Amino acid sequence: MSKTNELIAAARDAAKTSKGNSKKVLVDIAHSYMNDSDFELNYYSADSEGNQVVEKQDNVAAFRAANADDVCSALNLDKDDRATVESMPISRKTASAMMDIAKDAVMEYLETGRRLNMPTINPNNTRVSLQQTTVAEKEKDTTKIEDGKMVKTGNHVTTFEHQKVTTKNGVYPWQKKIEKI
């Protein structure tokens, strides 16, 4: 098991008791992931017949290669130095900045109203997509339960038009069994 897998397992165990937002955990995973050559990430999808397709994604290697190209070009380094630059460790500070940029980019993308399909990295997970939608203004009289009955409290609440992020979870064909009746 890679160091990143161990870190993710520990974060998953900790989330069983505390499901709060933790930037530290996100940055720890990203930092470990970007520096762990043993960590592999599978992407799961379905082919045209609904069969499970597993594809290995090495986004870290692609990032490192692109980053090495940029650094070598900016510093006018020769091709021999490229391998050194590509294998340089990525700092926790860089990982933190990248996660902030990634979150900002996702939120800006969602502001466009388009749907963002998230990668499926566990064969037991559903297909997840996110989309920002507009919720219309609502007005409602508030109620409470007294003696087992709903009674009006005398308050009137207006919720103004706002945006919310909605999720769509589609089930893959291999996650269901269809039987003829």
Please give the backbone phi and psi of residue 137, each rounded to the nearest 5 degrees, phi first. -65, 140
Instruction: Kindly report, residue by residue over 115-133, the tens digit of the pLDDT.
Output: 999 999 888 999 999 999 9
- Total domains present in the chain: 1
Instruction: Kindly report, residue by residue over 79-107, the tens digit of the pLDDT.
Output: 788 888 888 999 999 999 999 999 999 99
Q: Is residue 180 part of a domain?
A: no
Q: Is residue 28 part of a domain?
A: yes
Q: Is residue 181 part of a domain?
A: no
Is residue 1 pLDDT above 70, yes or no?
Answer: no
Compute CA distances 138 → 31, 91, 162, 164, whole Å: 43, 47, 10, 14
Q: Is residue 152 part of a domain?
A: yes
CA 116, CA 109: separation in Å to the nearest integer? 8
| Farthest-apart Cα atoms in the chain, separation | 80
Name the residue range of residue 170's domain: 3-175
Is residue 37 pLDDT above 80, yes or no?
Answer: no
